[in-house]
Amino acid sequence: MIILSRLADYGVIVATCLAADRERQATASAVAAATQLPRATVAKLLKALARAGLVSSTRGVAGGYRLARDPAAISLSEVVAAIDGNIGLTQCSVHVEDCARTNYCPTRPHWAAINNAVAKALAAIALEEMVTPYTFAPPGKGRFTPARREKIAEPGVTP
């Protein structure tokens, strides 16, 4: 089973990309190029992030996006929630109504606890932490090259 949707996953990547250098005003296409994700999708994600108030946008010819807040003040749960909606473990924690009909469940109270555990784990990590250990391109330096990316894409997975 996979917990967060691909869109949410991408959303974090996109947000992290913006967090990499907070000053720069990046266009959707620029972010798409940097992240190697399809432009249209990135645009969609940025829209969602903007609507959630996580990134600020400026329109027009010299427009673009940038983080609205300090990367240290944006948690992953916010990013995920901006795209996938609020986190709930089961259907009934999101839509309460239809629970009445299908199930009998003494189990439900426990879900809330687990729910919190997940939410907390996600809330405990800030965007800043996602970018720092690998130093994206801190001071005015070059962006990430696709080549470099391949190398660091390897590990992950197992703790």
Partner DNA sequence: ACAAATTGGACCGAATTGGTCCGCTATAGG
Partner DNA sequence: CCTATAGCGGACCAATTCGGTCCAATTTGT
With CB under 5 to 8 Å by kind, the binding choice for 120 among its own copies, DNA, none is its own copies
Instruction: Say if residues 57 and 50 touch (Cβ distance below 8 Å).
Output: yes
Residue 101 CB-density burial (10 A; 0-12 exposed, 13-18 middle, 19+ buried)? exposed
Question: How far apart are alpha carbons 67 and 78 in whole angstroms?
Answer: 13
Q: For tokens 């660091």, what's the residue?
A: 152
Q: Is 52 in the site for its own copies (CB under 8 A)?
A: no
Give the tokens for residue 41. Answer: 């999708």
With CB under 5 to 8 Å by kind, the binding choice for 22 among its own copies, DNA, none is none
Q: Is 44 in the site for DNA (CB under 7 A)?
A: yes
With CB under 5 to 8 Å by kind, the binding choice for 59 among DNA, its own copies, none is DNA
Q: Is the dihedral of CA 138, 152, 76, 113 positive or negative?
A: negative
Out of 60, 106, 139, 140, the only residue in the binding site for its own copies (CB under 8 A) is: 106
Give the tokens for residue 138. Answer: 């801190």
Out of 35, 55, 63, 68, the only residue in the binding site for its own copies (CB under 8 A) is: 35
Compute the least distance from the CB of residue 134 to DNA, in Å.
23
- Footprint on this chain of DNA (rule: CB under 7 A): 1-2, 5-7, 10, 26-29, 38-41, 43-44, 46-47, 50-51, 57-65
